[in-house]
Structure 1
């Protein structure tokens, strides 16, 4: 073998390991990339399987989304009422208007509510209102009010293809009086935790000159409409004793 041939052979031996290393490096890179993609798809599929198997219901408030179990059977009416009230982040409130030109008429508005933090249902609807609001002014004159809470605000009714007016898409109608909570009391602190944990944006609402107060509804009557056959009345005692 000539010197030039020997030199060429030596260069080939020196270059081949580098080329093999480069190919091996790209091989591992693509193998790792494929593995990551497969793991991501498996994770998504597992999550979807879990969600479908556990029949999770979601309710969103602003940027927050909470996950809840599927509602109780419709014949467990007191439990249905507690479930809908606890999983709801807002309701319709009706008061007796004090504003002209509708003074004396029923007046409806939307109210953000919470009966407790996600893991602690009290059954009592709490709200954070201002006396500048029309409903707030109405309640100064007449503290009677009705709250209408619908399961339609969750994705449950949509998932099982129920119109909000369908009786199987549960509605709970609460009537009673609205009471202001005194600052510094344990119940006022609970109301604050209940509302701010479910509606964090409330912390940013202007405090000065807006007369924000925590209130609760003293429930006097409960109607539940969760199946065919008309509304059913639930005793207040049974409602509070119901387990979620």
Structure 2
């Protein structure tokens, strides 16, 4: 065999090898792309299954977002009351105003609340107040107050297309007296943990505002969680119930 023929043979072999190598590379790339797409689709499918199949609700407030079980059945009214109080991060509180322009009128305000850390429910609404707040001014004169909380605070009513005023979007209306928690007591330590664990921003609020912990001593409870009007919940039954 001449050198020219030998060189031509080598060129053909090299060309065939290059084609084979390119084909393998292309096949490997295709396999990688197909594998990547399948893995991605699998993750999406798992995520959608978990998301679409997720039961429960969440409450978002400030920097926190907490997931909770679905509400109890509407006929377990005391349990519904405890549920709403425990999952609520804030409520509307009404006092008797002492402000000169509106003295004697009911005065509603929004307060951040907690009846305990996420894993503990006491049923007692705790709050963090400053003497500078209008509500605190009112409470110095008259400790009576009304407190309202609603399931509209979670995504439950939104998911079910319930208007916040609908009886199916349950709410609780509590009346009682708001009193200061004893300083240095075990209850004050509990109230601090209950509030700060669910409202982390509170720990950074200005100390010069002389914040203090307070609670509502409950006297009367109404719950509206279905058609037919509000139900009266016995206070003892309320504290005996569990939220979940």
Alpha-carbon distance between aligned partners in 2 of 1:42 and 1:132, rounded to the nearest angstrom: 53
Alpha-carbon distance between aligned partners in 2 of 1:10 and 1:161, rounded to the nearest angstrom: 72
What residue in structure 1 maps to residue 211 of structure 2?
212
Secondary structure of 1:4's aligned partner: helix
Alpha-carbon distance between aligned partners in 2 of 1:107 and 1:123, rounded to the nearest angstrom: 24
What residue in structure 2 maps to residue 23 of structure 1?
26
1:139 aligns with 2:139: yes
CA offset digits 1:5-49 (Å, max 9, x no partner) = 122123225424532442244123302321232122212221123
Shift of 1:94: 0.5
Unaligned 5+ segments in structure 2 are none
Large movers: runs of 4+ above 3 Å = none
Alpha-carbon distance between aligned partners in 2 of 1:185 and 1:238, rounded to the nearest angstrom: 27
Highest Rg: 1 or 2? 2
Number of positions where the alignment pairs a residue of Structure 1 with one of Structure 2: 240
Over the aligned positions, Cα root-mean-square deviation in angstroms equals 1.6
What residue in structure 1 maps to residue 103 of structure 2?
103
Alpha-carbon distance between aligned partners in 1 of 2:112 and 2:39, rounded to the nearest angstrom: 42
1:43 aligns with 2:42: no
What residue in structure 1 maps to residue 232 of structure 2?
233
Alpha-carbon distance between aligned partners in 2 of 1:192 and 1:39, rounded to the nearest angstrom: 44
TM-score w.r.t. the length of structure 2 is 0.92
Alpha-carbon distance between aligned partners in 1 of 2:179 and 2:63, rounded to the nearest angstrom: 29
TM-score w.r.t. the length of structure 1 is 0.92
Shift of 1:182: 2.8
CA offset digits 1:119-159 (Å, max 9, x no partner) = 11110001111111100111122111110111111111222
